[in-house]
Structure 1
Amino acid sequence: MPQRTKSGKNPKKAAKPTGGERPPAVTLISLLAGSIRERTFLRLVLSQPLSKSESAISKVTVRLVEVGGETKYQWAVRSQLQEKHENLTMDELIAQTKSVFGVNLGDAHLFTTQADLTVRWNYGKPQKVKRKPPTQQPSEGEGHNRQKQYLIPAGIPCPFLIEIGVMLPSGQVRPTMYHKFRQINRYLEFVEDILPQLPSTGPIHVVDFGCGKSYLTFALHHLLTRIHEREVKIVGLDVKADVIDDCTRVAESLKCDGIEFHLGRIETYVPSEQVHLAVSLHACDTATDDAIAAALRWKSNVILAVPCCQHEICQTISRQSLIGLTEYGILKERFASLATDALRAQFLELQGYKTQVLEFIETEHTPKNLLIRSVRRTDATAQDLTARREAYEGLKDILGVKDWHLERAVSSPK
């Protein structure tokens, strides 16, 4: 028989928590501390509220940030009333997690470079832990040794990135601008791939339609002039005078040779010489089609287009031919967006361009994340073009589209 204490209680039986006491969240905390110690931590999400109160915490997310050159953990706590952020040290993160898990929230999802871990609070009983293969990998700037080798590396001062506020003068990327830093480098990777399709000697002539703040225009200039030491003639075009003035100021401040900004519309711009690379990034709705049409008329070597909002096909697509997709508003809108880009890609193939549709940037930063990259072919046969015509017209028939803006813009420019 088991021995009993003087009080008559069996010492082998765990005492029940009393007066609000609870066993510490040893499992989650040990996993969290271990991931930080081993430098495998990526992200932590606490969810599943244990209270239905309106002011109760509904979710906590934790991610790595760089603050003043130090690694911190951004703690974002959300309730129905508000969301608050604060940057914590490792010890503060551990303390905050202990105070919330099992008190306010009952589920934890810990993402590391080694595994995805799900921990569930079990009201004083052993916590339930599930382990799955990792689904995420570290991003540049998140305090890990494994870093992607970018065309513009972090840690080395880059004048145009400093000027536009992406980098600090030391070369450190601002934590809030890492998404833009990655986007710029991703864009340059696409350009790097098509450099063999551009003239190998002489200036490279580029037109950037709807250049906006010109982050990517300056990035392209940096790639061609600083990295590849090429002469360029880059024209940034936009309809907003204040945007053109600001871009011109930045270009003058950086002493960028071969880049200028003009106030004007895509469909009326007339280049002074052959355009080798035509770029259209996030031009709204049919403005993307106007840019593609202009590049086709100029017989540009390469066309890069990242479409933005798209409404035309959504308004004209037949409800009868695709009833399962078009009777629900949000599904129709998303389908029409993909259908528009498919039509653009097929139309470009029909015009003698080898075309790819690629992911531009992660969807967590923007849903407008497709890039259409087209390279002019010199080997397209009549048989190839006939097959492309059949595929293009077949897609139009399925969608119930008779004609659309890109076709009209190419055949009847304004």
Structure 2
Amino acid sequence: MSKEAELLTEFQSSIDNDSFVRLTLSKPVDSAGTLKKVIISLAFIKREAHLSFVYRHKTNDVTKNFKIKEAFNSLKPLIENDFQIANLFTVKADFQYERNGSKSRLRSTKPSFKTTPSRGHDKEKKHLIQDTEYLKQLGVLDKNGRVLKDKGDKFKQINKFVEVIESLIKNSELNTTDKPVKVVDMGSGKGYLTFALYDYLSTQLKLPTTITGVEVRQDLIDKCNRIAKAVNFENLDFQLGYIADFSLDKTNILIALHACDTATDDAIAKGMAAEAELIICAPCCHKQVRKSMLVNDELDSVLQHGILKERQAEIVTDAIRALIMEANGYKTKVFEFISTEHTGKNLMIVGEKKKQNPNPQQYLGEVEKLKSQFGISHHYLESLIS
């Protein structure tokens, strides 16, 4: 019996006698490919045993769940053809398989695990931001670290925001350098997301981080600076200022969450001028474009209702913002970053600076088409960068 067949037999036995913990496949034969690792675990989905395969690619993870018999059909070629190392963990023994060319070996050692993990599929999500002192002082958690009754949506929003940042940072050059990361949060408000971002970048990723929150309400600035000092966030500070007037030097990350109407455009323009690697916006209200929209006959049946006109104005406003950012060298994504049940202000625009500037006319031409179609004389962001 080949070593590969022996490993599969041990794997099958561990499933049958419920001693299976985990199987990992690593060191791909195609070292230049995107698939780097596969992690296999056992889960019960609708009371039926499945094997969950997490395909870990260079830039993302893909999870697929298979019934046991189907799983073996998928696993066999991965071991025989695609990966050179496999580690099978059971509560009875660990098995290490290694293949080098035509030679392969399989050895067993004492088990690393004494008990099997939970077989549940729908596990409670582990939050990136959990029991922290600043969230207690900001009034999100109580003194025991539990989410306050009326702050559940805010707690989810904070963690979802950090998840978005995590995915952006992981795939950027900011995560591969020791240079200081400068972040400016335009319109930081009560500071929930600003504190969480500093915590994640500085405490968890260990990046040398400086964050400035810009806010127009002095009482919020004083409170946030007091909390930052109390929790020893030395490079987090809050300053008084309006987005449009705030002087911004070269910045790595520019954030503007829920800046009203054209304040979002001010923030985007400031970010592009500061050559920010990342610009992250969650717009709030879209009055400027809505007021200037002239309904033509073709769109009259759609835009005659106020709520539909308002939503169409939001779509057109943010579409033009994304196109203008593209024209200025940013790869953009527009997406819903959290469910509407938690906040109605749930659209996010992300711009990642490209290494090469494209031909801007490709995108500016699309801007002109949208303006013509909806009878818009101008978009405020255009006036800021012209």
Q: Do both proteins adopt the same fold according to a TM-score greater than 0.5, normalized to the shorter chain?
A: yes
2:285 is matched by which residue type in structure 1? C
Question: 1:281 touches 1:307 (CA, 8 Å); kept in 2?
Answer: yes
Equivalent residue number for residue 70 of structure 1: none
How much has 1:410 moved relative to structure 2?
A: 2.1
3-state SS of 1:233 partner: strand
Matches within 5 A, 1:334-373: 334-373=311-350
3-state SS of 1:367 partner: coil
CA gap of 1:209–1:198, structure 2 versus 1, over 3 A, is farther
Matches within 5 A, 1:293-312: 293-312=269-288
1:204 is matched by which residue type in structure 2? V
Equivalent residue number for residue 34 of structure 2: none
Equivalent residue number for residue 175 of structure 1: 149
Question: 2:153 touches 2:343 (CA, 8 Å); kept in 1?
Answer: no
In 1, distance between residues paired with 2:257 and 2:372?
Answer: 29
Matches within 5 A, 1:87-102: none
In 2, distance between residues paired with 1:145 and 1:159?
Answer: 29
Question: 1:278 touches 1:302 (CA, 8 Å); kept in 2?
Answer: yes
Partner of residue 231 from structure 1, selected from 198, 204, 208: 208
**Unaligned stretches of 5+ in structure 1?**
1-112, 115-143
Q: Point out the structure with the larger strand share.
A: 2
Question: 2:156 touches 2:342 (CA, 8 Å); kept in 1?
Answer: no
In 1, distance between residues paired with 2:187 and 2:336?
Answer: 20
Equivalent residue number for residue 61 of structure 1: none
Matched, 1:316 2:302: no
Partner of residue 162 from structure 1, selected from 136, 149, 167: 136
Equivalent residue number for residue 260 of structure 1: 237
In 2, distance between residues paired with 1:245 and 1:172?
Answer: 25
In 2, distance between residues paired with 1:349 and 1:237?
Answer: 26
Matches within 5 A, 1:98-137: none
Question: Structure 2-normalised TM-score?
Answer: 0.65
3-state SS of 1:152 partner: coil
When the two chains are superposed, the root-mean-square deviation of aligned CA atoms in Å is 1.9
How much has 1:367 moved relative to structure 2?
A: 1.9
3-state SS of 2:279 partner: strand
Equivalent residue number for residue 373 of structure 2: 398
In 2, distance between residues paired with 1:289 and 1:371?
Answer: 13
Equivalent residue number for residue 184 of structure 1: 158
3-state SS of 1:299 partner: coil
**Unaligned stretches of 5+ in structure 2?**
1-44, 47-120
In 2, distance between residues paired with 1:326 and 1:187?
Answer: 33
Matched, 1:278 2:254: yes
How much has 1:319 moved relative to structure 2?
A: 1.1
In 1, distance between residues paired with 2:338 and 2:326?
Answer: 24
In 2, distance between residues paired with 1:401 and 1:265?
Answer: 27
State the percentage of identical aligned residues. 37
Partner of residue 210 from structure 1, selected from 165, 187, 190: 187
Equivalent residue number for residue 172 of structure 2: 197
Residue-pair matches, total: 264
3-state SS of 1:372 partner: strand
Question: 2:329 touches 2:358 (CA, 8 Å); kept in 1?
Answer: no
3-state SS of 1:283 partner: strand
Structure possessing the higher radius of gyration over alpha carbons: 1
1:208 is matched by which residue type in structure 2? D
In 2, distance between residues paired with 1:198 and 1:265?
Answer: 30
Matched, 1:287 2:288: no
